[in-house]
């Protein structure tokens, strides 16, 4: 389904359903009070953002470290491979929901409610920012401990009264720290209003690095050479360009012609560089158009050549990557790759990569224009925030990395 269709369903059906389920849970708790339960089987909900599964990893590691909890996860089916990159959650504990049609969404939701009870989920953490659908999954999954963000007196989307641990979302700190705050609420020994009155240091959101073998790198180099037979790994460095962004927020895309100019500047200045334009299989045609405009044999259309699980291996043999604010900017954080991320309608202060990343941000007066309060939907159709970033500026910022031999 289209993103706007899902938003409309979330509003039209979500509001009355959240009200009804809230009333049911209130009555149930009043007449059938349940004793407090120590968290043992913890379910995390994050459906729509692949990058968030990486950002949430420090929070999941804290759950494992301090509770020795058995982790479970529910996510949209198309985004599930992002969980495999670090394998923090056992694959048999991941439940996927298809969102390609209303019928699939409904069927999988009912199947999830059966699965969560059969699995014995005792605690659930809703990582989403005010999604009514995930609020319903949280309220109906059967868990006694239900943790999530609550608007309190702030402006925010109505999502009922289904939480046992209501956490105050902080729009002034990185989302990774907000995720840690959810975990701290579950770990807390006393009730708070609001949760979570804790200090979260930068050391708590350090991200693990993935281990990549020499044989994996060798196989990946062979795949590159299949698309670029003339590439000489010992003499030519790889520069990755990811010009796409998810449909969730197309305003995050830097203009294609800017990418063309940037790639031409890199190739002209550094004859030992081979550029790979990366992307999903559906983005091959767009990538081919960019390659054609660049007009250089050292610019290769590499879109659709790898599975998501292979991306960290590619990142481990590359010199740098330039990307829109999207999943790859977070996937590269589990490697040491120098990554340059173009930000526009969102801010790196809240959603910056946790890895070796440099944000490039114009910081207009209207930025960021998406937030938890507006369901990450902006009225803007003219992303001046990205138009203000010129290729010359990007090249100047990344050049020091290429100057290092």
Tell me what pLDDT residue 370 has: 84
Can you read off the two tokens belonging to residue 326? 């999207």
pLDDT of residue 255: 94
Architecture of the domain defined by 214-403: 3-Layer(aba) Sandwich (3.40)
For 135, how many CA atoms within 13 A lie in the half-sphere containing its CB? 30
What distance in Å separates the CA atoms of residue 372 and residue 158, rounded to the nearest whole number? 11
- Residue 389's contacts (CB-CB under 8 Å, 6 or more residues apart) are 254, 258, 342, 360, 362
CATH number of this structure's domain 3-205: 3.40.50.2000
Q: Residue 110 burial by CB count (10 A; 0-12/13-18/19+): exposed, middle or buried?
A: exposed
**pTM recorded for the entire structure:** 0.92
At residue 148, φ and ψ (nearest 5 deg) are -175, 180
How far is the CA of 66 from the CAs of 62, 94, 108, 183, in angstroms? 6, 21, 32, 10
Listed as ranges, residues in the chain with pLDDT below 50 are none
In DSSP terms, 343 is beta-bridged to 361
Contact residues for 157 (Cβ-Cβ < 8 A; gap 6+): 130, 131, 132, 151, 372, 373, 375
Give 78: exposed, middle or buried? Use CB within 10 Å, 0-12, 13-18, 19+.
middle
pLDDT digits (tens, 9 = 90+) for 214-247: 999 999 999 999 999 999 999 999 999 999 866 6
Residues 6+ apart with CB under 8 A from 36: 144
Specify the pLDDT at position 247. Answer: 67
Instruction: Say what the pLDDT of residue 245 is.
Output: 67
Which one, of 190, 191, 126, 133, lies nearest residue 163 by Cα?
126
Rounded to 5°, angle at Cα 241 from 340 and 247:
90
Tell me the C-alpha distance between 40 and 346, whole Å: 35
* Domain limits, the chain: 3-205, 214-403
Q: What distance in Å separates the CA atoms of residue 264 and residue 291, rounded to the nearest whole number?
A: 10
Half-sphere exposure of 220 (CA within 13 A, CB side): 22
Per-residue confidence (pLDDT) for residue 27, from 0 to 100: 85
E strands within 82-192? 94-97, 123-126, 145-150, 165-168
Q: What is the pLDDT of residue 24?
A: 85
Helix/strand/coil for 243 = coil
| Residues paired with residue 148 on neighbouring β-strands, in sequence order | 166
Secondary structure (DSSP) of 166-196:
EEE--TTS-HHHHHHHHHHHHH-SS--SSB-
User: 22-55, pLDDT tens digit by residue?
Assistant: 888 888 877 777 777 889 999 999 998 889 999 9
């Amino acid at each position: 389904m289209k993103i706007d269709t899902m938003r409309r369903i979330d509003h039209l059906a979500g509001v009355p359903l959240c009200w009804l389920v809230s009333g049911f849970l209130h009555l149930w708790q009043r007449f059938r009070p349940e004793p407090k339960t120590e968290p043992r089987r913890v379910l995390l909900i994050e459906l729509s953002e692949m990058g968030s599964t990486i950002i949430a990893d420090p929070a999941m590691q804290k759950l494992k470290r301090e509770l020795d909890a058995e982790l479970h996860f529910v996510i949209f089916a198309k985004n599930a491979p992002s969980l495999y990159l670090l394998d923090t959650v056992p694959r048999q504990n991941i439940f996927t929901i298809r969102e390609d049609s209303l019928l699939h969404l409904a069927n999988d939701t009912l199947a999830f409610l059966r699965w969560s009870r059969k699995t014995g989920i005792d605690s659930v953490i809703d990582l989403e920012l005010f999604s009514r659908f995930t609020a319903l999954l949280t309220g109906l999954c059967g868990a006694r401990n239900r943790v999530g963000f609550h608007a309190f007196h702030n402006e925010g989307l109505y999502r009922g009264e289904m939480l046992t641990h209501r956490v105050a979302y902080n729009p002034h700190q990185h989302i990774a720290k907000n995720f840690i705050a959810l975990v701290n609420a579950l770990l807390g020994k006393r009730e708070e209003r609001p949760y979570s009155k804790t200090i979260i240091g930068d050391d708590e959101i350090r991200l693990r690095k993935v281990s990549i073998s020499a044989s994996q790198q060798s196989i990946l180099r062979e795949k590159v050479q299949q698309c670029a037979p003339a590439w000489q790994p010992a003499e030519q460095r790889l520069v990755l360009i990811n010009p796409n962004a998810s449909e969730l927020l197309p305003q995050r895309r830097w203009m294609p012609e800017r990418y063309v100019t940037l790639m031409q500047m890199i190739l002209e200045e550094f004859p030992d560089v081979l550029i790979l334009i990366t992307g999903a299989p559906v983005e091959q045609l767009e990538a081919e158009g960019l390659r054609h405009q660049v007009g250089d044999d050292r610019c290769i259309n590499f879109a659709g050549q790898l599975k998501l699980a292979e991306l960290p291996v590619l990142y481990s043999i590359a010199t740098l990557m330039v990307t829109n604010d999207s999943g790859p900017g977070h996937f590269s954080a589990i490697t040491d790759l120098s990554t340059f991320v173009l930000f526009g309608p969102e801010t790196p202060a809240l959603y910056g990569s946790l890895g070796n990343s440099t944000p490039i941000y114009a910081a207009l007066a209207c930025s960021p224009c998406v937030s938890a309060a507006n369901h990450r939907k902006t009225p803007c159709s003219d992303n001046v925030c990205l138009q203000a970033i010129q290729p010359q500026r990007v090249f100047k910022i990344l050049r020091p990395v290429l100057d290092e031999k």
